[in-house]
Structure 1
């Protein structure tokens, strides 16, 4: 490493989030390229048999096989870890692969997990339908009820898991209180930070041990690639890397390069998403055909004081209930013309979806009811279009009721 490169890396140690989003983890080859390079290779050539043996054994640092060592992927891992204030990070093939890899690496048969009810529907299915097959016990609790969390903890509880704000009704967890509870019972505290990203919230600052992302969402920001990541302390991340090395749910170099480009504009986008979402939530709250709006930036939202304490913005996702049932919700959705009817979120394009029949459609009626997902609930991930055009599109939905 050149003296100039050493000085550049030293300067980044105290850089702020906007600078880290553009510069952290950046590598340069002998070609001196300015943009991050992509390394689309499956394997690497060694100088000698002895070096190959040392690399495989771990005695020498360096690339071995792109299933778990790739310079472009490593660049992304280091950058997102820097943004979250974590010691290390590991990239995965998807957000669900990040959750799966964390559980498989850090838990064992007979262990118990406490998870908030208001999480992505597929997260619920992962715990109940698949991980339980391997002897994992799971209890679901009310995200905002600390007594519910405390009473669910058992002697074999090893991990507390939550999303905040939650998907889709934007409840807000008390991160500091849950961190204290986890430490008291010697549990790991894992937070899905997908809705806020480190641009708006850094759970590690409030005591989280690990932070998980679906990079597919806001880290990319333009709906181009699927990926995920986990960041936290070296000790836990190394265990997760070991799982990925063996089982292979890893991120491709091209996807990592796309996510690196997305991170460069993360703070700007999240501020703009938050501004548009707040304006649209306030507008929807004034409409007679809207029964209730869920957005933590609204004064009417019970989680606003906590969100204001933990977050520097309220994010781009909101939900609302129209008066009526599923038919009315579907009519509203089908009448929109600018919004994209898709289950993804975090895109510059506004997306609209009916959670009860899509993202949470595989849950039972009882599970959906416990998570407050009613048939008249609609989720919006507010993009970066002109806010007046979005209001006009929402009016099209209202006019169809």
Structure 2
């Protein structure tokens, strides 16, 4: 079903207000103030003709929850409000959203252009699954916009962007590459998971479809899986059809959990990215740290692009330690206010090396070819007090220096 949140005038709301009220113009049963969790697999009709019209999409309503569900639809409407999109479709995970979009628009003989610095699961689709389907894949050096433009000019059906990238935090100039894609009639898809709709609006920069792993910042509490895709209805309807037939529907309870998480998104991001900036600046002073990746740093190679297309720099920081994995193994177990886990975007701070988080699907050789060092650590900054997070890092690094002395 098409979702249009224009009645809520999200463009006139502040970010925090939009996160709470966006997409919620429907009166809920029993005068409930919160979106109800509708678990019914099917919806019944006494009037066969009305039922048929609903099934054809010619009348509003619900038929079967693999196709649409009231709770899931409420989440889709909220994302429309946040991303200023016409339509949205929800999936059972972020990878279900990513793979479904790519499989919807790519087939034998088509060509996709993307970058090497994509999430490991996405990279596997490019390197392993799409070539099996006869899709030509060109992965470019992420920072080389000239190379990306050359590859687009050689023929491109889909341009797939991820910015900031996971876990190297590189920034892609969306407007520049959208212009190149338009010149050859390519569809542009962007993963906006790291930035969130609060910091970046890819649709306003010319992107056709935006996707999120809702598991991360949108839900924000590390307790639910989900994925979302949004954009213009003619495109989203094709992705929705793929989901209906292939079955990667989001569960209603998961949809409710993500809706609940989104309501605090602005508050969480405000605290998290403020702390991320301070942590990134501290890491630059630590002798055991070889390099720091955070677009909010003035010496980040893509800082100017980030300032142009983002409202904030996000809550993810990554850094590379001297001594590689040996130092990582000494450092991470000493942290007190952190989970060492393969997730991000939660209220708790989370640390992890790429080989067990973003690129666990890749071999050592593949990670090194992608420019991902074994000494790289990704931090998903939580909402804890920044003094505690800095103190925690300081004591952990002090322990490592003592061990290595």
Decide: shared fold, TM above 0.5: yes
Displacement of 1:322 after TM fit?
Answer: 1.0
Residues 318 and 379, structure 1, Cα contact 8 Å, conserved in 2 = yes
Alpha-carbon separation, structure 2, partners of 1:226 and 1:55? 29
SS at match of 1:76: helix
- 1:147 and 2:157 correspond: no
More off after superposition, 314-323 vs 357-366: 357-366
Alpha-carbon separation, structure 2, partners of 1:300 and 1:156? 34
1:32-181 mapped onto 2 (5 Å cutoff): 32-153=31-152, 156-181=155-180
SS at match of 2:292: strand
Partner residue in 2 for 1:17: 15
Alpha-carbon separation, structure 1, partners of 2:199 and 2:98? 21
Residues 54 and 61, structure 2, Cα contact 8 Å, conserved in 1 = yes
Displacement of 1:93 after TM fit?
Answer: 0.6
- Cα deviation digits, residues 323-361 of structure 1 (max 9, x gap): 112111121112212210001000110000010344313
Residues 338 and 348, structure 2, Cα contact 8 Å, conserved in 1 = yes
Alpha-carbon separation, structure 2, partners of 1:278 and 1:163? 21
Alpha-carbon separation, structure 2, partners of 1:97 and 1:65? 20
Displacement of 1:127 after TM fit?
Answer: 2.2
- Cα deviation digits, residues 52-105 of structure 1 (max 9, x gap): 222222332211111121111111111111111111111111110011111122
More off after superposition, 362-371 vs 45-54: 362-371
Alpha-carbon separation, structure 2, partners of 1:378 and 1:281? 12
Residues 164 and 171, structure 1, Cα contact 8 Å, conserved in 2 = yes
SS at match of 1:153: helix
CA-atom RMSD, angstroms?
Answer: 1.7
Partner residue in 2 for 1:286: 285
Q: Unmatched 5+ residue regions in structure 2? A: 1-5, 401-405
Residues 163 and 191, structure 1, Cα contact 8 Å, conserved in 2 = yes
SS at match of 1:91: strand
Per the normalisation by structure 1, the TM-score is 0.94
Partner residue in 2 for 1:396: 395
Partner residue in 2 for 1:5: none
Partner residue in 1 for 2:276: 277
Partner residue in 2 for 1:348: 347
Alpha-carbon separation, structure 1, partners of 2:281 and 2:102? 39
Partner residue in 1 for 2:336: 337
Partner residue in 2 for 1:196: 195
Displacement of 1:305 after TM fit?
Answer: 1.3
Alpha-carbon separation, structure 2, partners of 1:134 and 1:400? 50
Alpha-carbon separation, structure 2, partners of 1:122 and 1:45? 39
Displacement of 1:11 after TM fit?
Answer: 5.7
1:389/1:17 CA distance change after superposition, 3 Å: closer
Per the normalisation by structure 2, the TM-score is 0.93
Residues 83 and 197, structure 2, Cα contact 8 Å, conserved in 1 = yes
Partner residue in 1 for 2:3: none
SS at match of 1:31: helix
SS at match of 1:148: helix
Displacement of 1:246 after TM fit?
Answer: 0.8
Residues 143 and 162, structure 1, Cα contact 8 Å, conserved in 2 = no
Partner residue in 2 for 1:242: 241
Alpha-carbon separation, structure 1, partners of 2:314 and 2:11? 27
Alpha-carbon separation, structure 2, partners of 1:133 and 1:368? 21
Q: Unmatched 5+ residue regions in structure 1? A: 1-7
Displacement of 1:12 after TM fit?
Answer: 5.5
Displacement of 1:48 after TM fit?
Answer: 1.8
- Cα deviation digits, residues 215-242 of structure 1 (max 9, x gap): 0000001111000000111111000010
Alpha-carbon separation, structure 2, partners of 1:10 and 1:163? 29
Displacement of 1:310 after TM fit?
Answer: 1.0
Displacement of 1:155 after TM fit?
Answer: 5.5
1:342/1:30 CA distance change after superposition, 3 Å: closer
Displacement of 1:17 after TM fit?
Answer: 3.1
